[in-house]
Structure 1
Amino acid sequence: MSGVSEENALAAEEHAIASQKQAKYTKETGKLLQKLGEPQSTHGELIEKYGKAAQKHADASLKHSQAARKHNENSKEEFIKASQEHVKENQEHLKAIKECMKVVKNWKSHG
């Protein structure tokens, strides 16, 4: 296998699976907060949105690490596609983080 050791690919896969679980709990927390009424419901919507972005990122990360494990000349296209998807979902996750940060700054400014 060129580029990525089996050990590193397995570690990345385990990390992605843990990230999927964390994203699931984040989404569930957001849904529960939405049931509490304002202002928690607005916070809950944002947290759920963040969790969904984190879930997509974790899913793409898992595909990327799995493709890395299978990486050889026959699966080069699959690896490249998974890498590109991982980058795309990472960018979406970062957008969600930035949105959360804006809201947190707004909370701080309103004390």
Structure 2
Amino acid sequence: MNSDDALYDEQVVRPYVMTRGRTEARAKLDLITLAVTVRAATGVEVGLDPEHLAIVRLCRRPLSVAEIAAHLDLPAGTVRVLLGDLLHGGYIALQEPQPEADMLDERMYRAVLDGLRAL
């Protein structure tokens, strides 16, 4: 095995171990879903790994799934599973960003068309 193979194995196996082989989160989480800590973790809780604790610390202010993944240098899928664990344990709350406009509102489309015509 060369060094490239070892690096690849570490990158694939480590997230798999962190999620205990799970690939699906317990909740639907988009990359822009915001997570915020609602209950601190002391570090002695059963079932919380260092990555869980890092997420709880990071989310003292709301962060998106994508931001958490970037901070921890983990794949977004892995972060989604870990966030699902934390949500289930009551450590975090999730919030979907509010859409800027109702996409089914005809007035919004008319305003866009009017704006384009004015160009």
Is TM (by shorter chain) over 0.5? no
- Larger RCO (CA under 8 A, 6+ residues apart): 2
| Larger helix proportion of the pair | 1
Q: Which structure has the larger Rg over C-alpha atoms?
A: 2
Tell me the TM-score normalized by structure 1. Answer: 0.26
| Larger strand proportion of the pair | 2
